């Protein structure tokens, strides 16, 4: 399939308008379309110029979505953004999208939901399961330890 530069640009505009994309995703898509070298660079430059491609906007929407929908913590969000070669500046801006209070509330809600699905376990086993779950989701150790400790070893 041979596309002209204009056709490829149109396809990429549609691709970026549908959902925020990072530069790596755009590079991959251009490669699948058989667009390389100078054409790819020119198309990407045009996408940036027309604001179809914006790394900071991508990072912010990625962080918001993964936090709200999947319940990811900051550690996991940062790791995933770094995999996509997002700059440290944009990563910091993305983390600004997550309020501290909402962050703690989300962790608490995830832990309560996970706890409700567990069969009768000793406090120690429940503690281990909840800690592993929260760490896998990408929450910080100090927050996890505090939240899970209060949940498993709270005095009745």
Q: Write the CA distances from 132 to 115, 141, 144, 152, integer angstroms.
A: 12, 10, 9, 14
Residue-level pLDDT at 1? 59
What are the residue ranges spanned by the domains of the chain?
5-49, 55-95, 100-152
- pTM of full prediction above 0.95: no
pLDDT digits (tens, 9 = 90+) for 93-119: 999 999 999 999 999 999 999 999 988
Q: Kindly state the tokens that stand for 140.
A: 């910080």
pLDDT (tens digit, 9 = 90+) per residue, 51-87? 999 999 999 999 999 999 999 999 999 999 999 999 9
Q: Is residue 17's pLDDT more than 60?
A: yes
pLDDT score, position 155: 53
């Amino acid at each position: 399939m041979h596309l002209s530069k204009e056709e490829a640009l149109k396809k990429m505009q549609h691709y970026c308008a549908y959902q925020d994309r990072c530069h790596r995703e755009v590079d991959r898509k251009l490669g699948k379309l058989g667009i390389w070298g100078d054409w790819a660079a020119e198309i990407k430059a045009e996408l940036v110029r027309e604001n179809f491609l914006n790394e900071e906007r991508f990072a912010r929407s990625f962080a918001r979505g993964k936090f709200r929908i999947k319940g990811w913590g900051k550690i996991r969000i940062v790791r995933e953004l770094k995999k996509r070669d997002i700059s440290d500046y944009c990563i910091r801006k993305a983390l600004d999208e997550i309020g501290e209070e909402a962050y703690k509330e989300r962790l608490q809600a995830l832990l309560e939901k996970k706890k409700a699905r567990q069969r009768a376990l000793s406090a120690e086993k429940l503690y281990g399961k909840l800690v592993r779950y929260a760490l896998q989701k990408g929450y910080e150790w100090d927050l996890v330890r505090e939240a899970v400790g209060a949940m498993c070893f709270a005095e009745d």
